[in-house]
Amino acid sequence: MHIKTLLNYTTKFKGFVFEKINLEQSRNELVVWVVPRKNSKPICSCCELPGGVYDHLNERRFLLPPIWAIKVILAYRMRRVNCRHCDKVVVEQVPWAIGKSPVTKPFATFLAHWTRKISWQDAAKAFNISWDMVASSVIWAVEWGLAHRDLDNITAIGVDEIKYKKGPKYLTLVYQIDKNCRRLIWIGKEHKKKTLLAFFDFIGPHRCKKIEFVCSDMWKPYLSAIAERLNQAVHVLDRFHIVVNLNKAIEKIRRAEVAKLKSEGKPAYLKKSRWLLLKKKSNLRGKQRTRLRELLSMNLRVVKAYLFKEDFDHLWTYNHPNWAGRFIDQWTNDVMRHRSLPELKKFARTIRNHKELILNYFRAKKEFSSGIVEGFNNKAKLTIRRSYGFRSDKIRDTALYHTLGNLPLPLNTHRLS
């Protein structure tokens, strides 16, 4: 079999034929010369219409995906088009090139495929090209993917934020969390109301109407943007964030108490007790259990708070919103009676204020929980943390969409894996 047959099988370009092939052993390179098919006219890169040949430029070299660990180079003399539509001489458009990049579309797709499994740095090393070539390939593939993805029929979304870099800089991430399609669909700067409104503008009112469930935390700007634009959807408050807030209240009480014991010259009963009090009781083993039992026998504010926390956990065992609602009423009433626990009372008030949204979690049959959103957000944070090499917002967003967006890839990739 000829190498040409193999090339035509994997990499056919309409209007062009492979002319000759040479293996340059000293450089471990396979050079493939490509020429225009007879009588084919060059395409103007401006208006994309065929035109007459003006002249030929010097040979340009492009990279195809390697075969058998041999670098494959595509060599071609670009034609210039005398375009009568544009009324000027323009370089032709060739089907394999991406702008001025030396990486061909098939190679860029190949790289995009691999960078979902390995880091950009590793891909650059493995395929013996520069990091910039990998980056520009992924950017191209992601742009293609974003332009070709299907955003119709989204019925459930999750909204979350990530803190980015130092200081109060945030990103708002919107995920589709439908059972059959879970992916990152949008990235916005900051976490303001207008950030989320921009997302709703982006998908448009028609798609907004199809959304039945929204999952978010208690961040007010999000709540108000969702109330304004998605009033038909069931807004589910995120279980994870509720638990986080409760744990924050407990931790505040514990710290205050540690300080109080110290100032009164009492023994440091609460030393290293943070995780003991925040973890679920059922997750504690041996010594930890004994310590917890000792702690619970003391007359401390944090002990009372801890017992309330353990009790609150029952909420998640209910299946019916009515029963869950009654539980919330009772639990918050009990907390409100304890004058010594202002931190927990504050949490109880928040729960009361958002009761309907919390009950939506049960109305949605617990299907759209924070677990999905949280899982995505952890992956997003990981992607950003790994991104010390990412030099711009565009590259950061590209990496996020590439890892989490489940975007379609430009070419048929069945031969790439």
Q: Toward Zn ion, which CB reaches closer, 44 or 300?
A: 44
In what side-by-side order are the strands of the sheet with 170-178?
A: 181-189, 170-178, 156-163, 213-216, 234-237
Q: Toward Zn ion, which CB reaches closer, 99 or 167?
A: 99
From the CB of 87, what's the least distance to Zn ion, in Å? 8
**CA dist list (Å): 395 to 162, 166, 184:** 17, 18, 16
Asked if 75 and 31 count as a contact pair (C-beta separation under 8 A), the reply is yes
Which residues lie closer than 8 Å to 122 by C-beta, 6 or more apart?
Answer: none
Q: Toward Zn ion, which CB reaches closer, 31 or 86?
A: 86
From the CB of 83, what's the least distance to Zn ion, in Å? 3
From the CB of 1, what's the least distance to Zn ion, in Å? 40
Q: Toward Zn ion, which CB reaches closer, 83 or 270?
A: 83
From the CB of 35, what's the least distance to Zn ion, in Å? 22
Angle at 16 between CA 49 and CA 99, to 5 degrees: 60
Q: Toward Zn ion, which CB reaches closer, 85 or 355?
A: 85
Q: Toward Zn ion, which CB reaches closer, 41 or 189?
A: 41
Phi, psi of 340 (to 5 degrees): -80, 0
Q: What is the CA radius of gyration of the chain?
A: 30
From the CB of 90, what's the least distance to Zn ion, in Å? 6
From the CB of 81, what's the least distance to Zn ion, in Å? 7
Among residues 314, 321, 172, the alpha carbon closest in space to that of 243 is found at: 314
From the CB of 80, what's the least distance to Zn ion, in Å? 11
From the CB of 85, what's the least distance to Zn ion, in Å? 4
From the CB of 16, what's the least distance to Zn ion, in Å? 19
Q: Toward Zn ion, which CB reaches closer, 44 or 324?
A: 44
Q: Where do contacts with Zn ion occur on this chain (CB under 5 A)?
A: 44, 46-47, 83, 85-86
* Alpha carbon distance, N-terminus to C-terminus of the chain: 23
Strand pairing class (88-93; 43-44): antiparallel
Give me the helices (H) in 186-219, please: 193-210
Question: What's the per-residue H, E or C state across 23-73?
Answer: EEHHHCEEEEEEEECCCCCCEECCCCCECEEEEEEEEEEEEEEEECCEEEE
Angle at 368 between CA 365 and CA 371, to 5 degrees: 125
Burial class (CB in 10 A: 0-12, 13-18, 19+), 23: exposed
Q: Toward Zn ion, which CB reaches closer, 40 or 353?
A: 40
Dist. CA 203–CA 351, nearest whole Å: 31
Dist. CA 361–CA 357, nearest whole Å: 7
Q: Toward Zn ion, which CB reaches closer, 93 or 288?
A: 93
